Amino acid sequence: MASTIERVPQKANSRKGRSFPGFDYLGRFTSATYELVVTAASDWADKYEWGKRFGHRVRIRVSEENRPFIDVFRETYEDDEDEETNEVVAFMLRYPSSPRWEDRLTQVSEFCQGADFVIVNFIPDDPNNPRLKDAQEPRAWIFDCHLNPQIPVPPNPLHDRLLTNMEFHEALKQERFSKDSEQEIIGNTRRIYISNPNGVSILSLLRRTPASQVEGFRKLFANYLSQSPVPELSLRETDWWGLGFVIECNLPYLAISTHDRSDTRTLSQDKNLRARDDIDFLNLKSSTTPRDQQQRSCVPDNAVLHVAVFSLMITGRSEQHSTTVCLDDEFFDQESRLMSDEEIESLAGREDPITLQPEFKRARSPRAYLLVALEGQLERIVDHHANAQDQLKYSIELYNTISEDRSPAMDQWIKRFPLILNKLVHFNSRLGEKVNHFLTDDAMVGSDGIPYGPLWQGLQAEPGAIKSLRAIRRYCGLLRDINAGLEHLREAYEDVRRKRKNDFAAEQQTRDRTIEQVTVAAFGLAIMNLIAQVYTGKPGKDDESSRPAYITMVVSFGAICISGILWFVFRYRSRRDRAG
């Protein structure tokens, strides 16, 4: 079976110039091997903790899963029919609360401010309007499937295709399970991907989330909409509204972009949702080198180092019934994860935008799906961080080639370079530590690459899960390598700073010596002038009345000469002591 699985086509680096001829084969492969996989999975379900809790088929009530939590809240807590519910507060409020969670609630509320007005008063625009060419309009994708490929999913014209923000809103308004379904069913797997979500996207999700999934969506919104995002990677059990599980994966990272491709989303009071730092100063150019001989730039013009976040959440009652939502920042990427209808037709198949792999007719289980998605995103992050590291390294090399130039740009470089370096170290190290903690403490991956964590055992039955887990370990090692390289850059910067400081001190000494020489010359001229005045002021032999004044002038002259000589001797000895 293992050799058969290895024949599944793998994702290439770019969609251009490739197609998916193996899609029909994938369908035959997954259907033919389904019974074998189910049999193996049943053995794991009875043997390991995850299977005992979530591996068996839990039947769910269709009426409960189709009913949004907000509707439940209104019926339970609204006494006055005229009272209007603050949907964001009702959804996000937890008990007991905390100051940190209150801040998260405020940020989600600010982000969704005005979204309801847009939904109610939406007027569609002409898609060919040139004004929309560079607009960062959210794009979405919804896909429903079963772990069993033999169970058909009712077709839906708004599913499994590229959706605009309002089409996504309309798709969510439809009930997940039809009214013709049985009262209790096993459920299905739903996947949702949104690129650059805005307030309308979040409010649409919030309004249609059933009560059993609220805990997972709260964490998703709080993690993604934080102005200071932190890495999260965990699998935990929840009993907030019945027994279930929540998988969190929040991955903040840094990427080089430009001002015109920066995130335009804001919170209230014009606060940017995502921070960014101008790094155009890295493009050092010597003021003495001819323009046609200037070296290449490190980064594009108007470049920024931008914070971005990839946030994935999976929640459900069992392996058979779960919901996956991915909120992704794509504003700086040249190629979107979401394939257009033309790309699907030309490539003869579709990629899952979350895992960036061809779709399987049999859905992966939640744990395996997380590992595949995490593998793909870590590859993307490692590439962005390594690129930023390379540009910082090249900028230091540029500085060393023109370090004699004392322009304001060089002073700006010395001041701002360590700030950017420290920020990259901070993001990279935190992410590496979180992934390492996940591997060692949560999944408890052994030297054989097999997970032994209580909720992670039994993944051997999942096609591709162990392979992805090993790839995650490799990317964790690459993050450590990047961190080591950044520490070397820190040492190189300190060498540059010390050399600049020493050069400045040497220049200062040169200036001091020049000043001393000028002072000595001026002092010598003053002495010669005094000598001339003393000589011309000498009284005659018969002029006894002028002699006391003359003697006073001679004494003053002597005192000035002695003071000047002592000053020069003191300066000389002080400079010699510092040099020694």
Q: Is the dihedral of CA 473, 475, 481, 484 positive or negative?
A: negative
Q: What is the longest distance spanned by two Cα atoms in the chain?
A: 139
Q: Verify that 468 and 526 share a domain, yes or no.
A: no
In a domain, 287, yes or no: yes
Residue type, 505: A
Residue type, 278: D
**Do the Cβ atoms of 455 and 235 come closer than 8 Å?**
yes
Strand partners, 307: 254
State which H helix or E strand residue 73 sits in.
helix 69-77
CA dihedral (182, 183, 184, 189) in degrees, to 10, reads: 70
CA distance 312 to 477: 22
Q: Verify that 493 and 550 share a domain, yes or no.
A: no
Q: Verify that 83 and 221 share a domain, yes or no.
A: yes
Of 455, 471, 500, the position where a domain reaches its end is 500
CA distance 10 to 480: 26
Q: Verify that 403 and 542 share a domain, yes or no.
A: no
Residue type, 112: C
| Secondary structure (3-state) at 338 | coil
**Do the Cβ atoms of 318 and 57 come closer than 8 Å?**
yes
CA distances from 239 to 242, 244, 324 (A): 5, 6, 18
The confidence score (pLDDT) of residue 464 equals 86
Q: Verify that 436 and 527 share a domain, yes or no.
A: no
Residue type, 527: I
Q: Verify that 495 and 567 share a domain, yes or no.
A: no
Query: How many CA atoms are closer than 13 Å to the CA of 487, on its beta-carbon side?
Result: 7
Q: Minimal CA–CA distance to 393: which of 369, 364, 376, 417?
A: 417
CA distance 106 to 92: 10
Determine the structural domain holding residue 566 and report its residue range.
517-579
End-to-end CA distance of the chain: 76
Strand partners, 141: 193
Residues 6 or more apart in contact with residue 136 via CB below 8 angstroms: 196, 263, 264, 265, 331
Hey, how many other C-beta atoms are within 10 angstroms of the C-beta on 444?
Answer: 16
In a domain, 512, yes or no: no
Q: Minimal CA–CA distance to 44: which of 497, 457, 435?
A: 457
DSSP string, 203-225: HHHHHH-BGGGHHHHHHHHHHHT
CA distance 445 to 438: 9
Hey, how many other C-beta atoms are within 10 angstroms of the C-beta on 82?
Answer: 5
The confidence score (pLDDT) of residue 171 equals 96
In a domain, 509, yes or no: no
In a domain, 277, yes or no: yes
CA distance 328 to 355: 12
Query: How many CA atoms are closer than 13 Å to the CA of 304, on its beta-carbon side?
Result: 17
Q: Verify that 92 and 197 share a domain, yes or no.
A: yes
Of 469, 500, 531, the position where a domain reaches its end is 500
Hey, how many other C-beta atoms are within 10 angstroms of the C-beta on 380?
Answer: 19
**What phi and psi, each to the nearest 5 degrees, are found at residue 397?**
-60, -40
**Do the Cβ atoms of 363 and 186 come closer than 8 Å?**
no
Residue type, 357: Q
Q: Verify that 362 and 470 share a domain, yes or no.
A: yes
In a domain, 506, yes or no: no
CA distance 415 to 334: 32
- The set of long-range contacts for 154-161, using a CB threshold of 8 Å and a minimum separation of 24, is 154/178, 160/350, 161/341
Strand partners, 306: 255, 276
Q: Verify that 412 and 448 share a domain, yes or no.
A: yes
Number of domains in the chain: 2
CA distances from 177 to 63, 144, 195 (A): 9, 10, 25
**Do the Cβ atoms of 456 and 440 come closer than 8 Å?**
no
**What phi and psi, each to the nearest 5 degrees, are found at residue 192?**
-130, 130
Quote the distance between the C-alpha of residue 539 and its chain's center: 89
Of 500, 529, 555, the position where a domain reaches its end is 500
Residue type, 360: F
| Secondary structure (3-state) at 366 | helix
Q: Verify that 452 and 563 share a domain, yes or no.
A: no
**Do the Cβ atoms of 468 and 377 come closer than 8 Å?**
no
Residues 6 or more apart in contact with residue 526 via CB below 8 angstroms: none
The confidence score (pLDDT) of residue 346 equals 72
CA distance 490 to 496: 10
**Do the Cβ atoms of 3 and 35 come closer than 8 Å?**
no
Q: Verify that 537 and 484 share a domain, yes or no.
A: no
Q: Verify that 393 and 343 share a domain, yes or no.
A: yes
Q: What is the pLDDT along the chain (580 residues), one digit of tens a residue?
A: 333 333 333 344 455 544 444 444 444 444 444 444 454 555 555 678 998 899 877 888 999 999 999 999 988 876 655 567 899 999 998 888 889 999 999 999 999 999 999 998 876 655 555 544 455 689 999 999 887 777 778 888 999 899 999 999 999 999 998 877 788 888 889 999 999 999 999 999 999 999 999 999 999 999 999 999 999 999 999 998 889 999 999 999 999 999 999 999 998 777 899 999 999 999 987 655 555 545 667 888 899 999 999 999 999 999 999 999 999 999 888 788 888 777 777 776 678 999 988 865 567 899 999 999 999 999 999 999 999 999 999 999 988 888 666 778 888 999 999 999 999 999 999 999 999 999 999 999 999 999 999 999 999 888 889 999 999 999 999 999 999 999 999 999 998 888 766 555 556 556 666 666 666 666 667 666 766 666 666 666 666 666 676 677 677 777 777 777 777 667 666 766 665 5
In a domain, 348, yes or no: yes
Strand partners, 222: none
